[in-house]
Amino acid sequence: TVNITIDGKKLQVEQGITILEAARQANIKIPTLCFLKDINEIGACRMCLVEIKGARALQASCVYPVAEGLEIYTQSPDVREARKVTLELILSNHDKKCLTCVRSKNCELQNLAEELNIKDIRFEGASIDLPLDDFSPSIVRDPNKCVLCKRCVSMCKNIQTVSVISAAERGFKSTISCAFDRSLEEVPCTMCGQCISVCPVGALREKDDTDKVWSALADKELHVVVQTAPAVRVALGEEFGLPIGTRVTGKMAAALNHLGFAKVFDTDTAADLTIMEEGTELLNRIKNGGKLPVITSCSPGWIKFCEHNYPEFLENLSSCKSPHEMFGAVLKTYYAEKMGIDPKKIFVVSVMPCTAKKFEAQRPELSATGLPDVDVVITTRELARMIKEAGIDFNNLEDMDFDDPMGNATGAGVIFGATGGVMEAALRTVSEIVAGKSFEDIEYTAVRGIEGIKEATVAIGDMKVKAAVANGLGNARKLLDSIKAGEAAYDFVEIMACPGGCVNGGGQPIQPSSVRSWTDLRTERAKAIYEEDVSLPIRKSHENPVIKEMYDKYFGEPGSHKAHEILHTHYAA
């Protein structure tokens, strides 16, 4: 430890931490804008300046390490004035249309202006007037709101290793953009939306598709059904001020019911179906010398990353559609028949923690009936906006259940939302199918947690199945490179594009740096996912009565011809 003083307060702090962190431990708040722990620690924006006794100039506290005897001042007149000037300069050419900004009230710039008590902007900034990039089905970039913090650049480059956005220097017109001023639609963006999650302002946002949902709901001819992904229920509450990691499954179902959906279904049910199909596929490939490892195909950001960067692995992908796409296909076939509804009249809305799912839903490969399997995808954030727009008092809603006849999913379905969950759900089922008996010990903790790459060797009958799980595209890249180099070999690999899996998807509620730098959103939300797993009466996909009935009455066996026609697809290079 080292001894320092901050604003006269004597402190003993760990060596190696930054002044910002030391101040935080002492409950002294230093404002920041570009800083995001572990992702963007570059000291670029100069908001976090502090005065250090004996130092020649003010220093950026987010990158300045503590040292024995440092005397630090966070509120001296020089510091206060420097911060205000910096902020006013940023505000002077910012497109300040806060009233209609999607990030209003959740904007780090707006909050800073309030916290620093900015009453007037002393500088006349040249206003930037650059075109919006809204050609991507998932992501909208508004350069006029960009504060050049570079968090998105770092996320895309260092964490996701995609590197499609970077800083372009053009004097005062510096921007963050894609090479040659292309649209995100024209570069190998995976649509993961992780750049949105770290944007402090409204410069990056999802393509808002709520109007499409409202119009469908207003159309009396349509049977509008909704399904919700596993990870939405453990994050939606954050939009209504509930603590991170609060489960709101019942309130979410109630809110969707109030919004007027004919049926409220759970994507988890289709996750159970995916396990039946993917588990069967895995066993077949192992037995029949098929392509190994089988790699999961449910994360559309990962699929797109694979197509652009690792086309040699496309044959390894499971042929299963992702659960929500399977559900869409089931709703327009099995369910349509069962309920006597014309599939053309069924409108499927998916609520997903993911921006890439918007892109996925438009893929021509995902159509079992000639119609798109899923009609519209909205994110967790968009659902929250619809709930607010409808005037629903979310926090006081009485819990409701998902609707019959597709209502009950298992614990295996819900854990899909956290990294390692698809793997664990598959292992729960495959092990029992092979053994022909049921096991008590179903928690595969080796594949849980936020570590980037996890490995496990699992005995299944007399086989030893080698499994690996990667979350975040940078980790996926590492794993694939090691497989390519022959340094590692697996039978089954789970890849999720987002760090932590879907709980931390690019469509989830956005927490400011002041929260997410110090609280691990991935862990807190995943905890809630595993709580829900334990709370459910059935925790193995193959025991789900809804799924059993679907096979009995419609598909026959997992992997049947009919199952292949409806539930599987093929991503070609």
- Active-site residues, by number, are 278, 281, 298, 318, 357, 360, 365, 502
Residues 105-164 contacting ligand SF4, CB under 6 A:
139, 155-156, 160, 162, 164
Quick check: 190 binds ligand SF4 (CB under 6 A)?
yes
Task: Mark the segment that binds ligand SF4 (CB under 6 A) among 45-53, 193-201, 342-350, 412-420.
Answer: 193-201
- At its nearest, how many Å lie between ligand HC0 and the CB of residue 338? 21
Quick check: 331 binds ligand SF4 (CB under 6 A)?
no
Quick check: 298 binds ligand HC0 (CB under 6 A)?
yes
Quick check: 409 binds ligand SF4 (CB under 6 A)?
no
- Select the residue interacting with ligand HC0 from 147, 303, 368, 502 (CB under 6 A): 502
SS3 sequence of 361-414: HCCCCCCCCCCCCCCEEEEHHHHHHHHHHCCCCHHHCCCCCCCCCCCCCCHHHH
- At its nearest, how many Å lie between ligand HC0 and the CB of residue 534? 18
Nearer to ligand HC0, 202 or 507 (CB): 507
Quick check: 352 binds ligand HC0 (CB under 6 A)?
yes
| Residue 263 contacts which entry, ligand HC0, ligand SF4, none (Cβ below 5-8 A, type-dependent) | none
Between β-strands 263-266 and 223-228, what pairing exists: parallel, antiparallel or unpaired?
parallel
Dist. CA 252–CA 250, nearest whole Å = 5
- At its nearest, how many Å lie between ligand HC0 and the CB of residue 466? 21
Dist. CA 284–CA 539, nearest whole Å = 24
Quick check: 475 binds ligand SF4 (CB under 6 A)?
no
DSSP string covering 418-453, please? STTHHHHHHHHHHHHHHHTS--S----GGG-SS-SE
Nearer to ligand SF4, 197 or 249 (CB): 197
- Select the residue interacting with ligand HC0 from 52, 184, 294, 354 (CB under 6 A): 354
Determine the number of helices (DSSP H) and then strands (DSSP E) in the chain. Answer: 20, 17
Say which amino acid occupies 74: T
Between β-strands 166-168 and 223-228, what pairing exists: parallel, antiparallel or unpaired?
unpaired
346, β-bridge pairs? 223
Give the tokens for residue 345.
């009249």
Nearer to ligand SF4, 159 or 346 (CB): 159
The neighbour count for residue 447, using CB atoms within 10 Å, is 25
- Select the residue interacting with ligand HC0 from 267, 318, 471, 475 (CB under 6 A): 267
Nearer to ligand SF4, 353 or 411 (CB): 353
Buried b vs exposed e over 248-266: b needs ≥16 C-beta within 10 Å?
bbebbbbbbbbbebbbbbb
Reported as type and span, the H/E element at residue 270 is: helix 267-287
- Select the residue interacting with ligand SF4 from 113, 146, 165, 368 (CB under 6 A): 165
Quick check: 199 binds ligand SF4 (CB under 6 A)?
no
Q: Residue 47 in contact with residue 33, Cβ under 8 Å? A: yes
- Select the residue interacting with ligand HC0 from 224, 271, 450, 470 (CB under 6 A): 271
| Residue 411 contacts which entry, ligand HC0, ligand SF4, none (Cβ below 5-8 A, type-dependent) | none
Cα dist. 93→66, 68, 175 in Å? 34, 41, 12
Task: For residue 227, give the 3-state DSSP assignment.
Answer: strand
- Select the residue interacting with ligand SF4 from 195, 320, 458, 468 (CB under 6 A): 195
Quick check: 418 binds ligand SF4 (CB under 6 A)?
no
Dist. CA 287–CA 296, nearest whole Å = 18
Quick check: 411 binds ligand HC0 (CB under 6 A)?
no
| Residue 165 contacts which entry, ligand SF4, ligand HC0, none (Cβ below 5-8 A, type-dependent) | ligand SF4
- At its nearest, how many Å lie between ligand HC0 and the CB of residue 235? 9
- At its nearest, how many Å lie between ligand SF4 and the CB of residue 474? 11
Beta-carbon contacts of 293 under 8 Å, excluding residues fewer than 6 positions away, are 316, 466, 468, 483, 489, 490, 491, 492, 493
Task: Mark the segment that binds ligand SF4 (CB under 6 A) among 188-196, 312-320, 413-421, 447-455.
Answer: 188-196
In 69-150, which ranges are continuous DSSP H helix? Answer: 77-92, 108-115
The residue ranges that bind ligand HC0 (CB under 6 A) are 229-231, 267, 271, 298-299, 322-324, 352-354, 357, 416-417, 422, 496, 501-502, 505
